Amino acid sequence: MSNLNELINNIIADPVFPEGAAWKLRLFQENEVILHEGELGKSLYVVQEGKLRVSVSVALEERRKVRPGICDLAVGDIFGEVSLYEAGIRNASVTAVTDGSILEIDGVHLSDYLDAHGTAGYLFYKGLFEILIKRLALENHRVESLLAWGLKAHDIERHLSAS
């Protein structure tokens, strides 16, 4: 378990961060949609049990769309951080692959808690930053792979000069 997960467990155990108002445990079933792309969100989620899939809607043509999976989430993974402190539009859907559970942490309560507990705030953001950097590196690799595939599929290589 990462340091961020341990910190989150300590936060939800703190009596000043009440269950029901600041956080709740949500059970889910296989194929249940946890988040819908395009909906308004303001919570952070931590996978406690089970497996989830993150997907986005991609328009291929005017009337044709696909919903590819971007990644799978497992125990300890965090999602929903993009609209954590300011309600924002979800940029992906999250669907249960198996039965399981997640912690849903209210962004406003978490922000207030971290403001009042400076060390916890620093450690939380440091851990979140590390996760986001890893995700960015992975996404950069995926974009490079897709670009290379697209160039090969459309025989663009023959038009490029060797340098």
CATH code assigned at 117: 2.60.120.10
Residue 66 has pLDDT above 70, yes or no: no
Question: 98 vs 131, which has greater pLDDT?
Answer: 98
| Residue range of the domain that includes 17 | 3-153
The Cα–Cα gap between 163 and 31 comes to 49
Average pLDDT, rounded, for the chain: 86
Split at pLDDT 50, 70, 90, the class of 135 is: confident
Say if 159 falls within a structural domain. Answer: no
Domain count, the chain: 1
The DSSP element (H or E) to which 132 belongs, if any, is helix 118-153
Say if 161 falls within a structural domain. Answer: no
Cβ atoms of 46 and 102 closer than 8 Å: yes
Stated pTM of the model: 0.79
Say if 149 falls within a structural domain. Answer: yes
Q: What is the pLDDT of residue 1?
A: 43
Task: Give the pLDDT confidence of 1-29 residue by residue, as tens digits.
Answer: 468 999 999 999 999 999 999 999 999 99
Say if 158 falls within a structural domain. Answer: no
Instruction: Pick left, alpha or beta for residue 76 (phi over 0 → left; psi -120 to 50 → alpha; otherwise beta).
Output: left
